[in-house]
Structure 1
Amino acid sequence: MQYLKEEVRDKIKKEALKEFKNVGYKGASIRRIAANSNTSVGNLYKYFDSKEALYENIIGSVYNRLMNYINELGKVELNEKACDIFYKITEKVMEIFRESSIEIAVLLNKSQGSKYENCKSYFVDFVTRTVTEVTIYELSKRGKTLSDNFIIYLLSNSLVESISIIVKEREDGEVVRKLIISVIDIFFKDIEDKVNI
């Protein structure tokens, strides 16, 4: 009997993810999710108390995994070994994109009305801060300074928006991963040579 309950729960989550992807958190309908899951609204509420709880169950776990690695990146001490550590953590982040590209597409593009609606701004701030710190460190090794990080801020916005488009347009996790790595390389490779110094 427990198997049937888990099967119903999984069906609800599968249909909810489709609903969130198609119409976003704000436009999602519990009635539609229940109908598409072949269950009643009352039965759906036995598994998830609200639309917010359902969204949190699906999107929150992916967001929390991303944030754990982002927080790890933020703790990396800048030194000669930092590049290797950044690479390892970035690979873990890319693995999340490979495994959960649809959930990330919803997170980045369809979160209006949820507690995650400002996550893009947070990611832009994080990328800007991290790339700025790395750039300052790399420039200091050359005896140079960074006078302004505005270009880094622009590139960070472009990166996050590009990732949002990639996960919206491509569902194959491995393709998503490769595209994101390519875009990161295009925007930030040799960034210390591109910024206004």
Structure 2
Amino acid sequence: MQTLKEEIRSRIRKAALAEFNKEGYVKASMRNIAGAAGVAIGNVYRYYKNKDELFDELVQPVYEKYEANMAEMRQKINFSYRNDTPDVLKYYSKIESTLIDLFKTFTAEMTIVFNRSEGTRYEHAKPDLIKLSHSVIESMILKARENERLTDYETALARMLSTSLVEGLCLILRDNEEGETYNKLVDQLLNIYSAGLNSVIKQMEASWGDRTE
């Protein structure tokens, strides 16, 4: 009997993951989930009292992993601001590798968090990631220029770079199933982005060096 119950729960979870991924939290239907799982709607409510509880069971464990990693990065970035020689590039690389591991391991769940969580307590994940990325890029620019303030252009540049990275990841999540193509697209995006960011930083370092000579 216990095996049967776990099998039913697994079917409900699988159906719910697909429904939330397709429709998002707001438009997702418990009736559609029940139909896709092959169980009566009343049986779904025996396992989950409402849509919120089902959504949380699917998303919360992955989100907690994400938040733990982001908290660590925020702490390191805040520490970097208090030191004269912060190794922000190292921190940024860690953010990339941590995020990509999550994106590749929990593709469906991360898709929901970043693209389909409107109306839930997880909907701030995307703007928070943009904000964090923006902080790292600002730190990198400040270190390259050896200055305490960014120009208006540099502030706009940091905002553009951080937003484009996160939006690119969200686009890949939204439009591709997990698998080889998805993984290649993520890796390619990061390769292009890292190369471009390194080029910008080197140009700023060179420009600052010319001014101080």
Structure 1 position 134 matched with structure 2 position 143: no
RMSD: 2.6
Aligned residues: 195
Contact 2:88 2:140 in 1 (8 A): no
Q: Which moved more, 1:113-122 or 1:153-162?
A: 113-122
Q: Which moved more, 1:165-174 or 1:17-26?
A: 165-174
Q: Which has the larger radius of gyration?
A: 2
Other-structure match for 2:174: 168
Question: Structure 1 21/179 Cα, relative in aligned 2: closer, same or farther at 3 Å?
Answer: farther
Q: Which has the higher helix share?
A: 2
TM-score using structure 1 length: 0.84
Q: 2: CA distance between counterparts of 1:187 and 1:18?
A: 35
Q: 1: CA distance between counterparts of 2:184 and 2:3?
A: 34
Structure having greater relative contact order (Cα 8 Å, sep ≥ 6):
1
Q: Which moved more, 1:164-173 or 1:85-94?
A: 85-94
Q: 1: CA distance between counterparts of 2:56 and 2:107?
A: 16
Q: CA deviation at 1:83?
A: 4.2
Identical columns (%): 25
Question: Structure 1 87/49 Cα, relative in aligned 2: closer, same or farther at 3 Å?
Answer: same
Q: Which deviations, in whole Å up to 9, do the C-alpha atoms of 1:28-54 show, x marking residues without a partner?
A: 000110111111222212222211111
Structure 1 position 115 matched with structure 2 position 124: no
Question: Structure 1 161/42 Cα, relative in aligned 2: closer, same or farther at 3 Å?
Answer: same
Q: Which deviations, in whole Å up to 9, do the C-alpha atoms of 1:88-128 show, x marking residues without a partner?
A: 45323211111111221222222222222332212111111
What secondary structure sits across from 2:38 in the alignment? coil
Q: Within 5 A, what are the aligned runs for 1:3-42?
A: 3-42=3-42
Other-structure match for 2:187: 178
Q: 1: CA distance between counterparts of 2:189 and 2:63?
A: 17
Q: CA deviation at 1:12?
A: 0.8
TM-score using structure 2 length: 0.79
Q: 2: CA distance between counterparts of 1:60 and 1:180?
A: 27
Contact 1:21 1:102 in 2 (8 A): yes
Question: Structure 1 161/183 Cα, relative in aligned 2: closer, same or farther at 3 Å?
Answer: farther
Q: Which deviations, in whole Å up to 9, do the C-alpha atoms of 1:55-108 show, x marking residues without a partner?
A: 111122222211111111122243566544543453232111111112212222
Contact 2:17 2:58 in 1 (8 A): yes
What amino acid is the match of 2:104?
R
Other-structure match for 1:50: 50
Structure 1 position 94 matched with structure 2 position 115: no
Gaps of 5+ in 2: 209-213
Q: 2: CA distance between counterparts of 1:157 and 1:166?
A: 14
Q: 2: CA distance between counterparts of 1:109 and 1:68?
A: 20
Q: Which moved more, 1:118-127 or 1:71-80?
A: 71-80
Contact 1:166 1:179 in 2 (8 A): no
Q: Which moved more, 1:70-79 or 1:171-180?
A: 171-180
Gaps of 5+ in 1: none
Q: 2: CA distance between counterparts of 1:100 and 1:31?
A: 25
Q: 2: CA distance between counterparts of 1:74 and 1:43?
A: 43
Q: 2: CA distance between counterparts of 1:192 and 1:137?
A: 9
